[in-house]
Amino acid sequence: SNGLMAGKRGLIMGLANDKSIAWGIAKACADAGADLAFSYQGEALKKRVGPLAEQLGSNIVLPCDVGDEGSIDMLFTALAEEWDGLDFIVHAIGFSDKNELRGRYVDTTRANFTMSMDISVYSFTAVMQRAEKMMSAGGSALTLTYYGAERVMPHYNVMGVAKAALEASVRYLAEDLGKDGIRVNAISAGPIKTLAASGIGDFRYIMKWNEYNSPLRRNVTTEDVGKSALYLLSDLGSGVTGETHHVDAGYHVVGMKAVDAPDI
Ligand code: NAD
């Protein structure tokens, strides 16, 4: 433990298993001395999240479906019974019908557009409405986004539109909550093989493309994301808010296929 997060309490939302980006972030925070609470979606995930939380010394494991306002209220009511304050929060949640994470964006249905925006975008705002009340001493909030918000990426489709809205909401939340010392940022992670990512068409090809064409010539890991998250969530990031920070091996600066890239 490097003590950077000693005495800080944080809620991690979006842990599904040990491949989750939320797990890389939780580990980095726990290593730095943070006390953690976890929320999980649905009973099926409880038996996975419970033991992982325990590994990091946490026994605060609470259910929350972010599509349900009552469920978010219940999470924060239960959390307030455990803790009298909150220093940081991680929102690592996104969802879309995987049948629409392939093919053409133009074919997106109204129902899935609305659902994707609700779960992947509005939920962060809904969570911050409650978190704000527990962050009277200031705090730091982090969400996860992807380059498909900025540029067209194959198959990302409606999630790209949702991530663009999420990044915009980070800026608006940063302004509203900044006066109270609450910082709000996003990490734009490169592709990582997680449960959520497995729903995206041709994901292996996208991973290879990023590996061969990013300046670092590799893909990022959940540990890479965890370390950058630690910076934004801790006092090291004290002057940073409203930012979308790329943790993508530099892929977002590249304008063309690398000359040394092998064929995929
Ligand atoms: P993951 O499958 O491990 O995590 C996604 C989480 O979202 C799961 O824990 C799931 O339970 C949760 N979730 C979905 N709907 C929910 C709901 N209604 N209520 C509560 N929780 C819900 O996958 P991940 O890749 O770690 O995803 C975390 C975040 O990172 C997502 O926002 C994703 O879009 C983003 N991201 C992922 C990548 C990647 O390549 N894996 C890249 C950039 C950004």
Within a domain: residue 1? no
Find out whether the beta carbon of 174 lies less than 6 Å from any atom of ligand 1: no
Give nearest CA residue, ligand 1 atom 40. 191
Specify the amino acid at residue 182: I
Kindly state the percentage of the chain with pLDDT values over 90. Answer: 98
Is 21 marked as binding a ligand?
Answer: yes
Q: Is 20 annotated in some ligand binding site?
A: yes
Q: Classify residue 184: in a domain, yes or no.
A: yes
Q: Which two tokens stand for residue 221?
A: 């890991």
Mean pLDDT across the chain, nearest whole number?
97
144 lines ligand 1 (CB under 6 A): yes
Cβ of 197 less than 6 Å from ligand 1: yes
Tokens of 162: 């949702």
Q: How far is the CA of 1 from the centre of ligand 1 (A)?
A: 27
With residue 178 as reference, give the H or E element that holds it.
helix 157-178
Tell which phi-psi region holds residue 181, choosing left (phi > 0), alpha (psi between -120 and 50) or beta. Answer: left
Angstrom distance (rounded) from CA 261 to CA 201: 22
Q: Which of 21, 34, 7 lies closest to 225 in space, CA to CA?
A: 21
Type of residue at 203: F
Q: What is the structure's pLDDT at 1?
A: 60
> Of 40, 147, 156, 251, which is the active-site residue?
156
Q: Residue 40 belongs to what domain range? A: 9-249
75 lines ligand 1 (CB under 6 A): no
- The reply to whether 264 falls in a domain is no
Domain count, the chain: 1
Output the residue whose Cα is nearest ligand 1's atom 21.
41
Average of pLDDT values for 185-200?
Answer: 97
Compute, in angstroms, the gap from residue 4 CA to the centroid of ligand 1. 26
What is the identity of the amino acid at 107? Answer: D
Q: What is the ipTM, given to two decimal places?
A: 0.99
Q: What is the pLDDT of residues 138-180, one digit of tens each?
A: 999 999 999 999 999 999 999 999 999 999 999 999 999 999 9
Asked if 212 is an active-site residue, the reply is no
How confident is the model at residue 243, as a pLDDT? 98
pLDDT of 208-228, one tens digit each? Answer: 999 999 999 999 999 999 999
120 labeled binding residue: no
Q: Which CATH number belongs to the domain containing residue 37 in this structure?
A: 3.40.50.720
**Do the domain assignments include residue 65?**
yes
In-domain check, residue 114: yes
Q: Which residue of the set 40, 146, 147, 251 is catalytic? A: 146
Render the burial of 224-254: b for 16+ CB within 10 Å, e for the rest: bbbbbbbbbbbeebeeebbbbbbbbbebeee
With 70 as the cut, is the pLDDT of residue 250 above it?
A: yes
Instruction: Evaluate whether residue 26 is within a structural domain.
Output: yes
Cβ(220) to ligand 1 under 6 A?
no
The per-residue pLDDT for range 75-99, each reduced to its tens digit, is 999 999 999 999 999 999 999 999 9
Q: Is residue 3 part of a domain?
A: no
Grade residue 2 by pLDDT with cuts at 50, 70 and 90. Answer: confident
- What's the pTM? 0.98
